């Protein structure tokens, strides 16, 4: 009886929705997802978002969630900058793309979609990086080309070591998980559990892992994902960045991501005609350096 009632409720929620949106509601109900995140990437490369509850998901798929204009003028340290048209008064809507929906393997009970930033009249906001990418893809298509892209993300895996207690002004240190050689099997062994969990998390979100190996730097990891059409590739990289610092937290402690302009994550864009080389840097996928710490016992 309870299952029948649940199916009837779901049928009522999806009535009138587009097929892709209806499938999201049905999956959220079937998988028991209590919160569904609407993600976006700001101009500082920070992945941000808001979440809706499952009972309000069907409505929010159509209306989006409000976001103040000021958020696209925030720095990586949440300092609001004086940018014309991006003050605290006024809002846009975070409208999720149902085709980007995934359940989050590292956050049981949660799902996520990548969202476009839409003005209140339903048109794309000029400050939306994802819409900018869509325009670039359309312009390229008008010339008879299709853009595919891939990223080469690299990050550091290590242990967060607190500052000495006798040094109040001291800073925490990120101690690499290994001091092995480039491509060394010692490096594979040191990061094995984490790497396997990350691979499984990425695959659960529809990504195809191409290669993995410990890189030249101590604790440096490289794990690449197969190329895809540009919009999908950009969305994949957002999901990748969200997965990397959150995997393995059941028995280890994640380090704070270092918001640094220096990076080892490189975007590669490849048009079908090699004479042209448009870039996907406008996709809002930032270059980041991530730190992640196992607990002392796990290390």
**Per the confidence metrics, is the pTM higher than 0.85?**
no
Q: Compute the residue count for the chain.
A: 299
**Whole-number pLDDT of residue 1:** 58
Tokens of 123: 């048109």
- pLDDT digits 0-9 by tens, 76-122: 999 999 999 999 999 999 999 999 999 999 999 999 999 999 999 99
Question: What value does the mean pLDDT of the chain take?
Answer: 84
Give me the domains of the chain, ranges plus CATH numbers: 2-127 (3.10.20.70), 147-283 (no CATH)
Query: CA 27, 33, 34, 35 torsion: positive or negative?
Result: negative
- pLDDT digits 0-9 by tens, 55-83: 999 999 999 999 999 999 999 999 999 99
Angle at the Cα of 110 from the Cα atoms of 107 and 115, rounded to 5 degrees: 115
Cβ–Cβ contacts within 10 Å for residue 126, how many?
A: 11
In 75-172 the beta strands, taken as DSSP E runs, fall at 91-96, 102-103, 110-118, 147-152, 154-156, 158-161
CB distance 33 to 111 below 8 Å: yes
């Amino acid at each position: 009886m309870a299952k029948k009632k649940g199916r009837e409720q779901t049928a009522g929620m999806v009535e009138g929705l587009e097929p892709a949106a209806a499938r999201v509601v049905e999956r959220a109900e079937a998988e028991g997802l209590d919160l569904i995140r609407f993600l976006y990437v700001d101009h500082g490369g920070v992945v941000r978002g808001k979440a809706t509850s499952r009972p309000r998901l069907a409505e929010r798929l159509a209306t989006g969630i409000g976001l103040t204009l000021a958020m696209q003028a925030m720095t990586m340290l949440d300092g609001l900058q004086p940018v014309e048209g991006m003050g605290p008064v006024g809002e846009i809507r975070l409208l999720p793309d149902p085709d980007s929906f995934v359940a989050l393997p590292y956050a049981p009970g949660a799902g996520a979609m990548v969202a476009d930033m839409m003005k209140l009249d339903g048109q794309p906001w000029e400050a939306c990086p994802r819409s900018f990418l869509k325009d670039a893809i359309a312009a390229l298509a008008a010339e008879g080309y299709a853009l595919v892209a891939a990223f080469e993300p690299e990050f550091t895996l290590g242990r967060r070591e607190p500052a000495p207690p006798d040094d109040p002004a001291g800073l925490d240190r990120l101690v690499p998980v290994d001091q092995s050689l480039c491509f060394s099997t010692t490096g594979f062994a040191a990061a094995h559990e984490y790497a396997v969990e990350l691979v499984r998390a990425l695959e659960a979100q529809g990504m195809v892992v191409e290669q993995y190996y410990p890189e030249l730097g101590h604790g440096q990891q490289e794990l690449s994902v197969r190329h895809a059409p540009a919009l999908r590739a950009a969305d994949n990289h957002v999901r990748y960045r969200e997965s990397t610092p959150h995997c393995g937290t059941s028995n280890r402690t994640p380090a704070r991501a270092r918001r640094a302009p220096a990076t080892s994550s490189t975007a590669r864009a490849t048009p079908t005609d090699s004479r042209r080389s448009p870039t996907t840097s406008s996709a809002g996928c930032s270059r980041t350096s991530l730190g992640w710490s196992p607990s002392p016992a796990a290390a």
